[in-house]
Amino acid sequence: MTSPKEVALAELPSSAPSVEEPVSAAILTTGTGSEKSNGMDDYAQLKRRMLQATLIATATAVPITALVFDLSTAASLLVGALAGLLYLRLLSRSVDKLGNGAKSVGKVQLLVPVVLVVASARIHQLDLLPALIGFLLYKPALLIQGLLEARSSSSGR
């Protein structure tokens, strides 16, 4: 004779998670899992667009700086922009960990501007102001992405 538990388990659809499966697997197999997956896909796409926009801003700003000023200033801007990309990447990794049990955003990425300032003080070929401006080149990319998102959400209504 079958027990009530076996009967209840037999009546469950095959896509339903078992009791032994972890909670994350249960979320992925339910109907709301596809919505969560879609949100994570959107987030991954946003991260990629942010990095690409920052690279485009860097690829535009460095040659213009080399033409208007000198190669030393352009090199400082490039070093700062690379530090900004590293900062953005570390920040996105830290935010990624929030969903996996972390309670707050890590502080490792905050070392990047500190190291940039210390490096510009120690290395005489590296100018502080162009390096900091290069570091902040990720901000226009952030603003542009925010404006594009706002425009697409308002036109989608």
Which tens digits make up the pLDDT trace of 57-73? 999 999 999 999 999 99
**Residue 106 pLDDT more than 50?**
yes
User: What is the model's pLDDT at position 127?
Assistant: 94
∠ CA 128-132-133, nearest 5°, is 120
In a domain, 11, yes or no: no
* Residue pair 145/50 in contact by the 8 Å Cβ criterion: yes
* Residue pair 126/79 in contact by the 8 Å Cβ criterion: yes
In a domain, 4, yes or no: no
In a domain, 3, yes or no: no
In a domain, 121, yes or no: yes
User: What is the model's pLDDT at position 157?
Assistant: 59
User: What is the model's pLDDT at position 8?
Assistant: 44
In a domain, 155, yes or no: no
Domain count, the chain: 1
**Residue 19 pLDDT more than 60?**
no
Domain that holds residue 139: 22-148
- pTM given for the model: 0.70
Cβ within 8 Å of residue 126, ≥6 positions away:
75, 76, 79, 119, 120
In a domain, 16, yes or no: no
Report the chain's mean pLDDT, rounded to a whole number: 79
